[in-house]
Amino acid sequence: MIYLDKHEQMMLGGEYGSSIQKAMELLVKVGDAYNAGRMINVNKAHVIALPDLFDLLSALINDGTAKILTTANPLFLNLQRAREMNIPESVVEEGRKAVIREQEIYQRMNAIPSYTCYPYPLYDLRKGEHVAFTESNIAIFANSWFGAKTNLEGTSTAVASAMTGKTPEYGLHLQENRHGKVLIEVAPALEPGQFDYADYVALAHWAGGHLIDRIPVYCGLPKNITPGQAKYMCSAQIYRSAAAMFHIVGVTPEAPTTEAAFGDRKPEEKFTFGNRERKQAYEELCSATETRIDMVCIGCPDCTLQELAEIARLLNGRRISKHVRLWIGTSEFFRVLAKQMGLIDIIEGAGGLVISDMCVRFGAIPPLSDALGVRVVATTSGSIAQNAYRRSKERTSAWFGTTKNCIDAAVTGKWEA
């Protein structure tokens, strides 16, 4: 049975209201299931309000609000821009109720309406800081890039931690569980200093097939890898494994050396990512055979300002095919800055749309993909490439490639990579 201090016992006993009580009951059950010794304080949370869990989340919130800084995941649909996206009115009306319910839940929690899977410009994370994050990209990035400590929380447990400021101490909150187990060496012949965002997806996708639940240590990646590049490794890795963090030697805070990343132990296995492995990963992420495309989706996870600038450069002076939709996803924070810099005018002047507050991958999966007639999508995102094919039950297929590949396809209307 997990140990609770006096304050936590009062929470569990209902002295702080029914919401705190229900949240603590849930966290105690999780802690007992994982044999956690105690509860610990968390400083931040990131939450998702999924439609299937609206009633459960409403019950958890009930008469309380978040005790800690809490950010919110993207909405299902940006209602203000639905007409620009040419989404049928029937679909908008059907989605409106869910979006309004999502927003109500976040508002009742007093969560920041960030509506992004890349909320890091909103706050600093410190090495060793305990947080409670759900969503594949956010949790893994927090663990890996910042050295913060979180498990890959479920929707309800993240909300429960937001309400209480507590989480059971198990898993990646314990330092002994954060050491690497598998060494992934990136071959110098690949010239990793020239990697596109898609190459980082391919690397983590391929590595994920070897990990099971073991944390990888990547060796040979450039020391000047950007946060925007590293974030593409997160969801690609978790889609194929249960490893909720990674280390990059000489880059991430818990891996100043290879020895430190492994906790002075030897790796259980070693693998090399070379030309053959990269080719294999790209092929696995491509499910399409038809070269004519309907949509290009970039920005899952949300694009950074640097990515938006690169897309604007690739589109400058060009025009998107009238048969193709180009959706670029980003946070409202970056969209406003990009607008002031003139980047949005270039992208949207070419016929694309820069969309915030919702995940652009929804355009590639039902019900939006069916409503929009999307059958072939091109993307730099491993998440979109896999979701489009699986969640549409193979009605929608994907081409996976570099940013340049995708922008060229948006202009020509064909995949020619």
Domain-wise residue ranges, the chain: 6-175, 179-283, 287-412
* C-alpha–C-alpha distance, residues 223 and 245, integer Å: 18
For the segment 85-111, the average pLDDT, to the nearest whole number, is: 92
* C-alpha–C-alpha distance, residues 196 and 403, integer Å: 7
**Which pLDDT tens digit goes with each residue over 358-375?**
999 999 999 899 999 999
- E-strand stretches of 86-209: 132-134, 152-153, 166-168, 182-186
The one-letter amino acid code at 377 reads V
- The answer to whether residues 202 and 282 touch, using CB atoms and an 8 Å cutoff, is yes
Paired strand residues for 130: 149
Return the SS3 of 358: strand
Q: Where are the alpha helices (DSSP H) in 253-342?
A: 258-261, 275-285, 305-315, 332-340
The one-letter amino acid code at 388 reads A
Answer whether residue 318 shows pLDDT above 90.
yes
Instruction: Please determine whether the domains at 6-175 and 287-412 fall in the same fold group of CATH.
Output: yes
What is the structure's pLDDT at 51?
85
CA-based R_g, the chain, Å: 21
Confidence class for position 57, pLDDT limits 50, 70, 90 = confident
- The answer to whether residues 221 and 192 touch, using CB atoms and an 8 Å cutoff, is yes
User: pLDDT above 70 covers what percent of the chain?
Assistant: 100
- The answer to whether residues 353 and 328 touch, using CB atoms and an 8 Å cutoff, is yes
What is the structure's pLDDT at 390?
87
* C-alpha–C-alpha distance, residues 200 and 137, integer Å: 13
Domain at 6-175, CATH class: alpha beta
Backbone angles phi, psi at 151, to 5 degrees: -85, 165
What CATH number labels 287-412? 3.30.499.10
Q: State how far the alpha carbon of 68 is from the alpha carbons of 41, 61, 153, 165, 381, in Å.
A: 10, 14, 16, 6, 31
Answer whether residue 63 shows pLDDT above 80.
no
- The answer to whether residues 178 and 217 touch, using CB atoms and an 8 Å cutoff, is no
Give the strand pairing for 269-273 and 295-303.
unpaired
What is the structure's pLDDT at 372?
93
Dihedral of alpha carbons 358, 360, 364, 368, sign: positive
pTM (2 decimals)?
0.94
* C-alpha–C-alpha distance, residues 196 and 217, integer Å: 20
**Which pLDDT tens digit goes with each residue over 103-139?**
999 999 999 999 999 999 898 899 999 999 999 899 9
Dihedral of alpha carbons 196, 237, 378, 400, sign: positive
- The answer to whether residues 40 and 5 touch, using CB atoms and an 8 Å cutoff, is no
**Which pLDDT tens digit goes with each residue over 171-194?**
999 999 999 999 999 999 999 999
What is the structure's pLDDT at 206?
98
For the segment 164-169, the average pLDDT, to the nearest whole number, is: 98
DSSP conformational letter for 146: I
